[in-house]
Structure 1
């Protein structure tokens, strides 16, 4: 490692969005052969072909086909995003994001939105034509999300052999939101940036496997960095990990210079840009935080993508 010790090696990226570890942004995966602990059926990261699309319904099926035509894809994304915002509003107003799991409409719509953005990130020409067919405001949001996902995918080394990952249900969305805001008040690091880091690292704590380099916890700390900035806490505890992350980011230049601080956290400008793009979307509309909270864990294999969490 060069420069300051890295806070994270991003095992979550290898599974959740892309993958990078170490100061040069090399890919990171959890060690093969670990146990997958989860409240729903275990899924392995064995390379395979994409699963067939499920029967269409009012809500998008978890593996619903993504339209290939840019005009149809733009309509699908616009409709999905509008419905997702309404579903989030209903969840916040009539549900309880501080206790229960998200309702089915939020889960399915957020998953479909995530899958559309992943598709666009892998198909730049289709993405450009899709942006042109979107309303201006949504086109900007789409560009931010697609660019962030594409940046992180650029750091991926696909899994070529069978491997298992430990994944869990995240803490409730509003419990996490409370943690983010309390840490912001203590260290002055914007909660949206902390949320974006946790989102990119481990999909809000869903990924619990250590990296092959030994990074641990929901914010993926290397042991040496944790010893310096963990303030005696538990690296696996969400509140302690967030406090340590804010402590490290502040010591590295935040909030004056988030780019510098995030580059210290992980030495990759693609990573830095992705975190800041996601943070910008959360700042623009808090419903984007609730949408990201429901994005699921994917692993990239030599045989295609596999989803490890969600319906």
Structure 2
């Protein structure tokens, strides 16, 4: 096992993800969010949608994050989280929104798996339900002691009362913020991919399959899911997509098993997901421990629904 080669390969993969996945999506989404804020459309949408999401402990901006994750990409909501952090959304709302995001499925995995038999419509509906459950559980339970008042500072005044800016200024500002956020996620991506590479090279995954096979057979869980589970937890949704696509094409995994396991596998609560989301801001990272607990409840609900339906 050549650890240096594994680190170098992981580094190239991490940089590729940051440059060719995170930055393009985040730049576009951040420009849209900044523009909507500049022309006061964002404030109007928030005022309209806030009452609908209030029972789940979510704010109006949470709706943007929900749509971005389920219909754009796992990276898209980072722009919204960064804006929520900067705008002074309360810690309690921030925790509920983060829990919602961790519990839901990401579009960049949902769409590519649809041609392989994934039921996109049912999976998306269950994804949203799981996110709402996670947000509500976090708001009323795990994060109930957090402040629910907006955090407004002198530095944030211009954010709450935005001045109309030129399009070029918006693009430059949003681009700089997006690049900063994307590059901030590289260390976590690199470390997680390195761990996966070392485990594969050491034969740990094969050994684990042999140990767990009797237990999984007893509860009627295919052992073929061990590799996707480890890859998902350590390397994230993009790596999971690559592994599960290969299994589907080789016939080792069928569409029914794919759909039945989607509630557990297609979510953003993994090492890269943690790094990318927490890079949105200091307060986002501070409330993460409450959000993770709520997200686990939402993921459990999604897992049960997928098993029952499929």
Establish whether TM, by shorter chain, passes 0.5: no
> Which structure: larger Rg?
2
Report the TM range for the smaller structure's normalisation. Answer: under 0.3
